[in-house]
């Protein structure tokens, strides 16, 4: 099993639609889910975590939805990963160095002092991995994604989100 589940893939794809300063920059979790063909209840759960971590804010009302809580340049991929997955370690250490048959009832201090050398190697690898995730922001990721797509995609996507907002407003008006 991978360290990071589909939460990260779904969450990052959703957040990239909130980077755009036009139509989709404020969208409901339902619209983001339906636009991408993914589970609305799962996306709603992810946005609960992103909000709790202070990465998005929820605006109420017919023109409401989620928006980024700070500039896309100031939200790193690591921020999103930590918000969605918690601080998952690369390596599980059970400190078996304490159990050596030679130690009888209690391990001597030299055997348990500091980090286990194996754990230290794993921590170094984890730190490099996390530093790499911290080097990418939603802004630069969005730029990469946009470079791949034709300009019409952004226009069509914004129109789709705008249509959904209009339909939602109409439903609210007719309910009154």
- For a second copy, the binding residues (CB under 8 A) are 1-6, 8-10, 12-13, 34-38, 77, 88-94, 96-97, 99-102, 110-111, 113-114, 117-122, 124-126, 128-133, 136, 141, 144-145, 148-150, 153, 156-157, 160
Alpha-carbon distances, residue 139 vs 8, 134, 142, 150 (angstroms): 16, 12, 5, 18
CB closer to a second copy, 62 vs 129: 129
Nearest approach in angstroms of CB 110 to a second copy is 6
Helix H or strand E segment including 47: helix 40-52
Q: Which two tokens stand for residue 118?
A: 């194996």
CB closer to a second copy, 61 vs 163: 163
Nearest approach in angstroms of CB 47 to a second copy is 16
Place of tokens 């030299």: 110
CB closer to a second copy, 129 vs 167: 129
The rounded distance, in Å, linking the Cα atoms of 14 and 1 is: 23
- 69-81 per-residue burial string, b: 16 or more CB within 10 A, e: under 16: beebeebbbbbbb
CB closer to a second copy, 71 vs 143: 143
Nearest approach in angstroms of CB 176 to a second copy is 29
β-sheet bridge partners, residue 68 = 56
């Amino acid at each position: 099993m991978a360290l990071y589940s589909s939460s990260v893939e779904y969450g990052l794809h959703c957040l990239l639609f909130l980077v755009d300063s036009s139509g989709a920059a404020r969208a409901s979790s339902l619209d983001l889910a339906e636009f991408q063909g993914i589970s609305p209840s799962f996306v709603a759960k992810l946005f609960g975590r992103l909000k709790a971590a202070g990465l998005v804010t929820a605006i109420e009302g017919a023109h409401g939805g989620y928006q980024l809580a700070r500039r896309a340049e100031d939200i790193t991929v690591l921020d999103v990963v930590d918000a969605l997955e918690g601080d998952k370690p690369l390596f599980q250490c059970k400190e078996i160095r304490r159990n050596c048959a030679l130690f009888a009832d209690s391990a001597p201090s030299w055997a348990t002092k500091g980090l286990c050398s194996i754990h230290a190697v794993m921590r170094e690898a984890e730190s490099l991995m996390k530093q790499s995730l911290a080097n990418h922001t939603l802004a630069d990721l969005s730029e990469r994604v946009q470079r791949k797509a034709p300009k019409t995609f952004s226009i069509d996507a914004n129109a789709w989100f705008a249509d959904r907002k209009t339909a939602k407003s109409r439903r609210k008006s007719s309910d009154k």
